[in-house]
Amino acid sequence: MTSSIVNLVMRAGSTYPGDSRVRYVDLYTFDDLDLSTIDALVVSSDCDQIFLERRRERLTAIASSGGRIA
């Protein structure tokens, strides 16, 4: 089974080196993500904290279903 790891970033269109299991996703498309496919969510330190706080229910759903948030 392959893990689905999503890294939320503020730099849409940038390229990132690294693990092919990680999908780099623009923070402002978070509402469009299918949460059932996410095993882990990495939030970059420069992400919009107010935006994230307003989506706390979606973030809680990831953790409540066994996902990890870092």
Q: In terms of Cα–Cα distance, which of 68, 66, 52 is closest to 6?
A: 68
- When divided into structural domains, the chain yields a total of 1
Task: Write out the H or E segment, with its range, that includes residue 60.
Answer: helix 56-64
By CB atoms closer than 10 A (0-12, 13-18, 19+), residue 8 is: buried
pLDDT per residue rounded down to tens, the chain (70 residues) = 456 899 999 876 555 666 677 888 999 999 999 998 899 999 988 999 999 999 999 999 999 999 999 9
Using the 8-state DSSP alphabet, how is residue 15 labeled? -
pLDDT of residue 40: 95
pTM value surpassing 0.85:
no
Query: Domain of 35?
Result: 5-69
pLDDT of residue 15: 56
- What are the distances in angstroms from CA 50 to CA 6, 27, 37, 55? 19, 12, 24, 9
